[in-house]
Every structure is written in structure tokens, then in C-alpha cells.
Structure 1
Amino acid sequence: MKILQDDLTRADTLALIRAHVTELAGHSPEESCHALDIEALRGAGITFWSVWEGNTIAGCGALKALDETHGEIKLMRTADTHLRRGVAAKLLEHIIKEARSRGYERLSLETGTPAAFAPAQRLYERFGFETCPPFGDYREDPYSLFMTRRLNEPSYSAPPKSSCRQAS
């Protein structure tokens, strides 16, 4: 698998993002859905990556700069064809390394609370993320779970591939 910085022009990438946004909308009311659409993902301060296995998209993810020391994982998605194959874990490890290289001290995310988000929550927990209060412009919401982790932990290592699950 290769992780590439993506300019959001490939049809496969766009289709995966659209499927992601559509699926998330089915789990939360509109006012509680914080997924970014394609134009927003092209915005300033956001870096987007896609994961490829040969010519097939396996997943995608984005990192948003909140300030000089704090980043937010803004999107994580594994293609249905690549579920349970370590895509999300590999991408999350890549995003964490990138956040560290930028000098971020903390990396946070918002994910859903419905049962469909349990695999994502477990993945983030395995990578050291803990529940936290809302950050940035977020507000308390029964459909949102906020998580964060400090990046200055000296002994970070990825979990074994066998424990990887899809992230949303």
C-alpha cells in the first residue's frame, strides 16, 4: 500500500469521499454531522492523503491545522473492499507522524457516538486517543465523541495489524 498526498481530482478519491459523507449523514442529524465535503477538504490548512493498493483506492484521510501546536484528524475512511486489512491503522500512523513532523503537540478528532462508529473509536483508542471535551469550534453534542492525544509521548508504536478496524 502507498499513501500519497492527494489533490482531490481523481474520480476514485472523490467517489470514496462522497460515499463517506453520505453514509455519515445517515447516522446523525444534519446539525450534528461534521464531515467536510470535497470543497472544504481543499481548503487552507488541510492536507489530504489517499491510500492505494496498485490502482485501487484503499482509503483516505485528512489533517487540519487548528493552530501551530494542535491538529485535527478531519476524515478517515477505508474503502469497503479493504476493510480489516490494516488501511486505517497505516493511515493513522502516517497522520500521527506528519503531525509530529509539523511540531504539533496534540492531535484531536471528532467521531460519532452511534454504534456504527465503534470500530473507529476502538482504532483511535488503540493509538492512544482518549475522550476529551469539545475543542475548536465544536460544542457538546449527543452524536459526537471528541478524542485527543499528546504527541510528545516518547514510546509511540502502532498496534499489531491484526487489531485494525475501519475508521470513520
Structure 2
Amino acid sequence: MQLTIRKDDLSGEFIAQLLQKHLDFTAGESPPESSHALDLEALRAPDITFWCAWDGDSLLGCVALKDLGVTDGVAPGGARHGEVKSMHTAEAARGRGVARALMEHLMAEARRLGYARLSLETGSMESFAAARRLYARFGFETCAPFGDYVLDPHSEFMTIELAA
């Protein structure tokens, strides 16, 4: 596998299909009020950077970084805070290190851009256990809801302070 990670403008058919699978999965696992996955149009917002992992012409996965801005009380000293969004690996590519590579890339970019903290929301159900284990391996820890999120038994919130 020759993995290439690059910024994506969300205009291609393959990414639209992968994101639809992501939305279908989250909708099938979470009640509507607890599903926080963003659709294609929402991911095109100017405060979101989106990357895809490719092996040649095969789309293997994606991840996004949402800029939450300067958030006092969450990021140290009111520094920049980012949210991990739309992490998804194509079913055929699971277990091949794609999610790990995407997280390494996202975290390196977040550090380069001066983020002090990254946070995320994921499901609390068993179907999201692999995702929670991945985030924990990167040092993310359970935290309170952040941003506009509220306590929800179907959500788990995680965060990590990034080293300068």
C-alpha cells in the first residue's frame, strides 16, 4: 500500500460516496439528536480543513479539522482549539493503518497551525469502541462536553493538549 494523504475540496464522487457511508453508519448507530456527523455541504465550511487518504486511485479514508477558534477555559490560556470531525476509513481498508496515518497527519497539521488542544465527539456504543481505542492510543482522554455539545449518554467526548 502506497498511502498518500492530501487536502481535499470535497468535490469528487468517491469522497461523496465515502461520506455517505459515514453518515449512514452514524445514523444507524445513534439517535438523530445524538448524531453529530457533518454532511458534505457542512464540511465545506471555511473553518474546516479536510484530508483524504489514497492508495493510487483508491480512496481509503478521510478526516477533518474544525477550527473552534480561541476558547477560554478549554484550551490553555485561551489558545486555539480544534475539533476532529468525519474520521472514517473505508471498510475494505480497515486494519491497514489508515486511521492511524490520518490521525498522525491531522495532529501534525494542528501543531503546525498552532492549535493548543484537539477535542472530539464520538459514539459511546460498542460500535464506536475501535474509534475510542484509536483516539486513546494517541493520548486523547475522556472530557466534558465542549463547544455546543451537551451531556448525552450516546456521546463520548475526548480531548488532548498538544505539545508546542
Using the size of structure 1 for normalisation, the TM-score is: 0.90
SS at match of 1:26: helix
CA-to-partner distance for each residue in 1:1-43, whole Å, 9 max, x for gaps?
0001001011111100001001110111101000000000001
1:99 corresponding residue in structure 2: 110
Q: Deviation above 2 Å: which 4+ runs of structure 1? A: none
User: Which residue matches 1:29?
Assistant: 31
Aligned residue for 2:42?
Answer: 40
Letter of the aligned partner of 1:41 in structure 2?
Answer: L
For 1:70-113, what per-residue CA distance to the aligned partner results, in whole angstroms no more than 9, with x for missing partners?
A: 00001100001100000000000000001101111000000001
CA distance in 1, matches of 2:21, 2:159: 26
Aligned to 1:49: 51
The secondary structure found in structure 1 opposite 2:85 is strand
- Residue 147 of structure 1 corresponds to 158
Letter in 2 for 1:66: L
CA-CA distance at 1:152 after TM superposition: 1.3
Q: Do structure 1's residue 73 and structure 2's residue 84 form an aligned pair?
A: yes
Query: Percent identity, aligned pairs only?
Result: 54
Amino acid at match of 2:115: Y
Mapping of residues 124-143 of structure 1, within 5 Å = 124-143=135-154
Q: Which amino acid aligns with 2:90?
A: A
What does residue range 109-120 of structure 1 map to in structure 2 within 5 Å? 109-120=120-131
Q: Normalising to structure 2: TM-score of the pair?
A: 0.92
3-state SS of paired residue (2:115): coil
Structure 2 matches for 1:56-67, cutoff 5 A? Answer: 56-67=58-69
Q: How far apart, in 2, do the equivalents of 1:118 and 1:152 lie? A: 26
Shift of 1:44: 1.7
Aligned residues: 153
Cα deviation 1:111-146 (Å, max 9, x = unaligned):
001100000000000000000000000000000000
Q: Which runs of 5+ in 1 are unaligned?
A: 154-168
Aligned CA-pair RMSD: 0.8
